[in-house]
Amino acid sequence: MPPLLVAENVTKRHARGPRSVLALHAVSLTIDGGEFVAIRGLEPHGRKALTLVLAGLAPPDSGEVRFDGLDVYRHRRSLVPSEIAVCWDRFPPSGGTTLLAHIALPLRLGGATRAEANTGAREALERVAAERVAGSHPHDVEPDMLVRAAVARAIVRRPRLVLANDLTTAVDLIERDALMALLRSLSTDQGTAVVLMASHLVPGPDRALEIYGGAVHGETHPSERPHAEVFPLRRAQR
């Protein structure tokens, strides 16, 4: 089976005042469908640049990224968020909008009716064990539930690839383990590929890579070995 996502010799620079910073340098990376890959990096601009380029939200300066054989940046309007979803732990200022409405928005933009979108949003919140915050405003929700809501927003259209950036920095260690189990369950239960960018080591991915100096290091292409051991997701106790 061909890989889901392929990056080849991707380079990206960021302007920083009068000079530019090399965020990505000759990055080559392959992601298979249903894989859970963690990429650790201490430099936030490198993690963010890789997330944006892999999602097609920013063009590479050189090299290319393909999703299912399609150039990601050229086809970004059709791929994001229906096939590729980016998961940030931030919500725009609510302005009176509930988390349910935030999570339903991608469905509404995809043509769903309000009722259909709300139903899909509730199902996504249930999937991540966060249905109790559906009627809450983002600024009223504790960090761990807000992260779960962010995951719900990313998966509401059932994408084949989720790119998650810095989801675990705002939660404690116990909730971090539960969040890893949740991300793992997306790949095992739904066949969704998950790429998690983090500033620290995380447990349980199929592959653990590192990004530093703009380059990705480690097992950048899948091997034939079986996936990591899977542990069932437990609902968070309150």
pLDDT of the residue at 182: 93
Over its length of 238 residues, how does the chain's per-residue pLDDT go in tens digits? Answer: 899 999 999 999 988 778 888 999 999 999 999 999 999 999 898 999 999 999 999 999 999 999 999 999 999 999 999 999 999 878 877 656 999 999 999 999 999 999 999 999 999 999 999 999 999 999 999 999 999 999 999 999 999 999 999 888 778 877 888 999 999 999 999 999 999 999 988 888 999 999 999 999 999 999 754 444 433 333 444 3
pLDDT of the residue at 236: 40
Pairwise CA distance, residues 95 & 200, whole Å:
33
* Max CA separation in the chain (angstroms): 50
Q: Tokens at residue 133, please?
A: 């915050």
Pair 81, 72: CB distance under 8 Å: no
C-alpha pair distances (Å), 237 with each of 23, 144, 182, 189: 40, 12, 14, 22
What percent of the chain is helix, strand and coil (3-state, nearest 5)?
35, 25, 40
DSSP state string for 135-194:
TS-GGGS-HHHHHHHHHHHHHTT--SEEEEES-STTS-HHHHHHHHHHHHHHHHHH--EE
Q: State the virtual CA torsion across 176, 131, 111, 160 in degrees, nearest 10.
A: 30
Phi, psi values for residue 5, rounded to 5°: -130, 135
Instruction: For residue 165, give the nearest of 237, 77, 22, 58 by alpha carbon.
Output: 58
pLDDT of the residue at 94: 61
Q: Tokens at residue 113, please?
A: 């009716």
pLDDT in tens, 134-182: 999 999 999 999 999 999 999 999 999 999 998 887 788 778 889 999 9
pTM given for the model: 0.89
Phi, psi values for residue 30, rounded to 5°: -125, 135
Query: Helices 143-155 and 114-127 sit at what angle, rounded to 10 degrees?
Result: 130
Pairwise CA distance, residues 136 & 128, whole Å:
16
Length of the chain: 238
Per CATH, the number for 1-83+159-238 is 3.40.50.300
How deeply is 226 buried, as exposed, middle or buried, from its count of CB atoms within 10 A (0-12, 13-18, 19+)? exposed
Q: What is the DSSP letter of 214?
A: T
In the three-class reduction of DSSP (H, G, I as helix; E, B as strand; rest coil), residue 37 is classed as strand
Q: Would you kindly state where each structural domain of the chain is located, as residue ranges?
A: 1-83+159-238, 93-158
Pairwise CA distance, residues 201 & 222, whole Å:
19
pLDDT of the residue at 83: 98
